[in-house]
Chains A and B, each alone.
Chain A
Amino acid sequence: EPEVTQTPSHQVTQMGQEVILRCVPISNHLYFYWYRQILGQKVEFLVSFYNNEISEKSEIFDDQFSVERPDGSNFTLKIRSTKLEDSAMYFCASRNTTSSYEQYFGPGTRLTVT
């Protein structure tokens, strides 16, 4: 069964450094998402992406964040200058069409900012 994959599974970085989290959505999916979950808190929406542009973003998704689909398979989340409070589990998700409401989630990348 096709699945969403994410790399790395765990990323440790120093405050102020740039990080790129990578996701490979399911191949025929058209809608892509990033969510994050700070330890002990709820899963929060960050951004959605369709047709090579951001379709919706949350207040969390400020100028420090960006997303890109550099080729036909990868979907990346970049944090330009990480802060301690960016430490969280980051989940990528994808969805097929407008008539499909199910989002398929990847296993997540745990980002630790020191």
Chain B
Amino acid sequence: AQSVTQLDSQVPVFEEAPVELRCNYSSSVSVYLFWYVQYPNQGLQLLLKYLSGSTLVKGINGFEAEFNKSQTSFHLRKPSVHISDTAEYFCAVRSAGTASKLTFGTGTRLQVTL
């Protein structure tokens, strides 16, 4: 079985400050990792994904994440946030086998203020 832990339920940050949203996973097999963003009253939009290769992946809206196998982490970062980044962020994992379901974390609410 696989699971995802997002330790921070809320992260307040000032505009133009850097931010890191933490994600740890557990799985007995190789995994693919994803970050999704959910803006108010909208669906889930893919920010970025790690499938294989370079452990640093870049996504949309200036976000990036680093896969760390030894620490089973996939933290999301942005060097300078904007008010429009205020949203709920979900980390998700999928096993590399035939099952294709996504297992989500509980989400982190990023609140950007002036």
Contacts and interface: CB of A to CB of B under 8 A. Distances in A.
Contact of A45 (B43, B44, B46, B101): B101
Given A31-B100, A43-B104, A91 B43 contact: yes
B59 to A, nearest CB: 11
A114 B41 CA distance: 22
A50 B50 CA distance: 24
Contacts of A105: 36, 43-45
B101 A101 contact: no
Interface residues of B, number: 23
Interface residues of A, number: 25
Nearest to B90: A43
A42 B106 contact: yes
A32 to B, nearest CB: 11
B49 A56 contact: no
Of the listed residues A35, A43, A108, the one surrounded by the most CB atoms of chain B closer than 10 A to its CB is A43
Nearest to B45: A105
Contacts of A55: 100
Contacts of A35: 102, 104
B108 to A, nearest CB: 11
A45 B102 contact: yes
Interface string B69-107: 000000000000000000000101010000111111111
Interface string A4-31: 1010000000000000000000000001
A97 to B, nearest CB: 11
Contact of B100 (A42, A56, A91, A108): A56
B106 A56 contact: no
B28 interface: no
Given A4-B43, A101-B32, A45 B103 contact: yes
A105 B38 CA distance: 10
Interface in A73-114: 91, 93, 95, 101-108
A44 interface: yes
Interface of A: 4, 6, 31, 33, 35, 41-45, 48, 55-56, 58, 91, 93, 95, 101-108
